[in-house]
Chain A
């Protein structure tokens, strides 16, 4: 490919256009969230005449009816459970599959293929099951679901990474009398810290953004922000307060956006590995 200055300028232009168009909903929402109601209705364009934070303040004034901190806290807790539990379950399982060759015949292909199955299939029986065991509308119940959703990817990422580790260290430790559990915790876990962190971040983002099960399994106590955000569209009776709605959407998406910007390398590598190895 040519690297002439003109071609590079053209590439910059295409990049800027693509970035603008693909990120357009977030950009437009951010701009709207910084305008007053009057300005939104008189001028919906892409420039802000008098920037203001009134919409962000207004969100917290209606916390008696729609409590955004509650939804954010719910999302945080269930995403942490979802990411943490998935790692806790998948790490030993991945090791068993790669090194001890247990479960490679059935469990592994089953879980990997799970990614390709529409989750709505399991949503209804899980709803009925949760109803019987009082897990409906709980953070714990939602955490379990997030774990289920994340398991396939986390397992693939961990198994791929463990398979690439040199086996000699583990064998040396075994000769010295270390048990499998000790090897796992003292040797494999510390050298896998990068892939564990990357899987955790990606699982956290996926959990934070999950919507279907949040919609079905929660009603008030455990409503995640992905579901709660839409409540603000109907918050003031008749008309939607678009500025407030926009501010809510920005707050709702801030956490994964910041994580995505800070850790794009790890996330990109995980997404690629998860896609190609799966």
Chain B
């Protein structure tokens, strides 16, 4: 087949998806850009008045914006770190068991099948002061139960919930990476007297490093943009103590009706995402040759 023919066929095959993406991503992005530098309300959607960077200034000088950014960042770092550590520990400890009973993984993967929004709702029930299972047993055994969703405790509760739902992801990826290490390598190391913890330190962990990095990155991103379970568990408000970045933008748009601010905050978030992605790509590109 001729090169030009290949090109023509390729373009035809690629065109539908590209068109779809231009419509549903490209166009919204342009709208984002325009509205972020405009004064615009729900009545003036078709005739936004360009006013410069006022919306960005408003976002940057809003302490709640930074509080939300800090909340999401802290949340993502803590959650991703603990998920990877727990997942790694479980993956290595349970590996001999999962090897002989692979279907056990199905049960460990189940939490990921439930909508995060529903998990948030379920915890509303489970943690409820009067009808919840957890407070019931805490009262029974401890004589007291903390308020899980108070201003000072909500963060810890949300971190725990997120970890319990998504540690299975880390477990799955890391177990797969662990199981893929050829036994011949471990046997060779055992002949050289490297076994047990030594094998873990010098063989397993180094060989799993790429998988650990990828898992951490994916969990970090997903936790940073968290919305569903926070929204359904504590609502968009909760005294502002649980405002994630996504909830901040949602609230600016739907509750306050400040389209300009919401869109400017979106663009700042987009730029931040690009910076992180760029850094990650640089890092992985540099590590590849070795």
Contacts and interface: CB of A to CB of B under 8 A. Distances in A.
Interface string A247-258: 001001100110
Given A29-B122, A118-B246, A119-B225, A125 B35 contact: yes
Nearest to A45: B136
Given A102-B10, A252-B118, A268-B105, A260 B110 contact: yes
A120 B97 contact: no
B110 A261 contact: yes
A252 B115 contact: yes
Interface in A117-170: 117-129, 131-132, 144-145, 147-148, 151, 155
A229 B6 CA distance: 50
Given A111-B21, A259-B113, A28 B122 contact: yes
Given A3-B96, A29-B122, A124 B32 contact: yes
Contacts of A276: 173, 210-211, 214
A272 to B, nearest CB: 5
Contacts of A131: 45
A60 interface: no
Contacts of A209: 113-118
Given A23-B110, A276-B211, A124 B253 contact: yes
Interface string A240-278: 001001100100110011011100110110011001101
Interface residues of B, number: 99
Contacts of B267: 121
A253 B115 contact: yes
B117 A44 contact: no
Interface string B41-69: 00001000000000000000000000000
A90 interface: yes
Q: Chain B's interface: helix, strand, loop or mixed, by majority?
A: helix
B263 A230 contact: no
B277 A205 contact: no
Given A124-B253, A128-B45, A257 B20 contact: no
Nearest to A90: B17
Interface stretch (A51-59, A93-101, A191-199): A93-101
What size tier do the contact residues of chain A reach?
35 or more
A233 B121 contact: yes
A126 to B, nearest CB: 5
A216 interface: yes
Interface string B115-131: 11111011111101011
Contacts of B131: 32, 40-41, 44, 242
A256 B115 contact: yes
A242 B68 CA distance: 32
A93 B96 contact: no
B78 interface: no
A26 B115 contact: no
